[in-house]
Amino acid sequence: MNVNDIANGSEIKIYAAIGGHSIVIMTEAVFGVSAGLLVKPMEYFGKYMQFLEPSQVQVFNKRDGRIYKFMSTTITPVKTRYGNFHLIKASSKLEPENSRRAERFYIEKLGLMSVNGNNADLKNCIIHDISLRGISLILDKNTTLKPGDALDVRFRYGATLHNYEMSTIVVRNFDIQGKNAVGCSISNLNVDLIGLLAAKRNEKHAPLAEAPEINLNPEISQKQQINEVEEDIAKEIVPDEKKALNIASNGTNPFDPSNLEHITDKTLRQKKKEENMAKQAKEIENLLDLRDI
């Protein structure tokens, strides 16, 4: 899929680096044009951000509900007849997120488990998260497990406290906030668990149909809107009301307020406060004059 095939209203995350520190900037897709992807404008203290170095971009595509990643070449502000936007240019196609990595959902519920078929010695655990491929369990401090151990796990979840059961195999040991935990593969993914995962996914992602599409001019078709925007972009007009703020991986941090000369100007609130103080001082001065009389 090309970058200009991203659906209107899709969530865009831009991962950039400034002086060795990573930042994430979020925006929203307007629509694709021949030059790239038009997105809602991104500002910082009244300046348009400008990415002249390659940046990693992640897209939650509204059309198919999948996550895509690609590298942008530049992300620059552009001026159109419909207002100011940013244009994301990319030389490569969008790659879907690794399909082998299943989406995980947090559960955080108390459960019981038996180890290697010993149902007479049930142990407490916390179901940390679950996916189509596996489950993570936080263990009791007196419980020790190793890769290869077979676990039968059950827990109650949901408004009806439905009982879920599964058979798992320990794959790895790790820590969660200083507590012993294990990652397990699920041996028997039954209908109940599939229903639970589907419900959790619906909670996490709103139905795609509910996300409104972006329409810059309801009086004409979107195809015509795109043609008009492409004509404006071809003129290479940069928004002149606000200066550009270049985002670079090295050098000074443009997000440091000390590097933003314009924020030293008095804000409207500060000016109003000073005007009120001056007015009060004048009133006090007048009162003093009347007392002398």
The number of folded domains in the chain is 3
Q: Exposed (0-12), middle (13-18) or buried (19+): which is 90, by Cβ within 10 Å?
A: buried
Q: How many helices and strands (H and E) does the chain possess?
A: 3, 16
Output the six-digit token pair for 244.
């550009």
pLDDT tens digits along 93-129: 787 775 545 678 888 899 999 999 999 999 999 999 9
Q: Which pLDDT score, from 0 to 100, does residue 78 have?
A: 92
Do 232 and 281 reside in the same domain of the chain? no
Residue 214 scores a pLDDT above 80: no
- CA dist 37 and 48 (Å) reads 17
pTM greater than 0.85: no
Residue 184: give the domain boundaries. Answer: 105-204
Q: Which pLDDT score, from 0 to 100, does residue 174 have?
A: 92
- CA dist 282 and 277 (Å) reads 9
Question: What's the mean pLDDT when you consider all of the chain?
Answer: 82
Residue 212 lies in a domain: no
Residue 91 scores a pLDDT above 50: yes
Tokens 């935990």 map to which residue?
A: 181
pLDDT tens digits along 31-90: 989 889 999 999 887 888 888 888 889 998 887 777 888 889 999 999 999 999 999 998
Q: Measuring CA to CA, how many Å separate 57 from each of 5, 24, 54, 173, 177?
A: 15, 10, 9, 32, 30
Q: Which pLDDT score, from 0 to 100, does residue 185 have?
A: 93
- Residues near 109 by Cβ (< 8 Å), separated by ≥ 6? 126, 127, 155, 156, 157
Q: What is the 3-state secondary structure (H, E, C) of 108-119?
A: EEEEEEEECCCC
Do 11 and 91 reside in the same domain of the chain? yes
Do 21 and 7 reside in the same domain of the chain? yes
What confidence category does residue 2 fall into, taking pLDDT thresholds of 50, 70 and 90? confident
Do 31 and 78 reside in the same domain of the chain? yes
Tokens 């419900």 map to which residue?
A: 199
Do 109 and 175 reside in the same domain of the chain? yes
Do 94 and 225 reside in the same domain of the chain? yes
Residue 261 lies in a domain: no
Residue 263 scores a pLDDT above 50: no
Mean predicted confidence (pLDDT) in 223-234: 90
